């Protein structure tokens, strides 16, 4: 399949500059990678772990919290 797109001049320059700096990549490989990133499910588990949000906890977990401010 072939797709033709028109890019705004500043974006076209950025693309050209990027491909010059990364000769191992092509427009196709760049678009494939961007689409994979865009379409992949967002894994928020690390963020939730960092934030301390737990999907399941014992019923009395709050009573035994180390940082209980009561």
Domain that residue 27 falls in: 9-64
- Say if CB 19 and CB 25 are below 8 A apart: yes
**How many distinct structural domains can be found in the chain?**
1
pTM: 0.53
Residue 50, in any domain of the structure: yes
Look at 63 and 16; give whichever has higher pLDDT. Answer: 16
pLDDT, tens digit, for every residue of 19-51? 999 999 999 999 998 888 888 777 766 666 666
Residue 28, in any domain of the structure: yes
Q: Measured between alpha carbons, how far is 44 from 56 in angstroms, rounded to an integer?
A: 16
């Amino acid at each position: 399949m072939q797709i033709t797109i028109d890019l705004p001049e500043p974006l076209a320059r950025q693309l050209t500059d990027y491909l010059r700096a990364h000769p191992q990549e092509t427009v196709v490989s760049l678009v494939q990678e961007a689409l994979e990133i865009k379409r992949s499910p967002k894994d928020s588990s690390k963020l939730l772990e960092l934030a301390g949000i737990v999907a399941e906890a014992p019923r009395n977990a709050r009573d035994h919290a180390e940082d209980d401010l009561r």
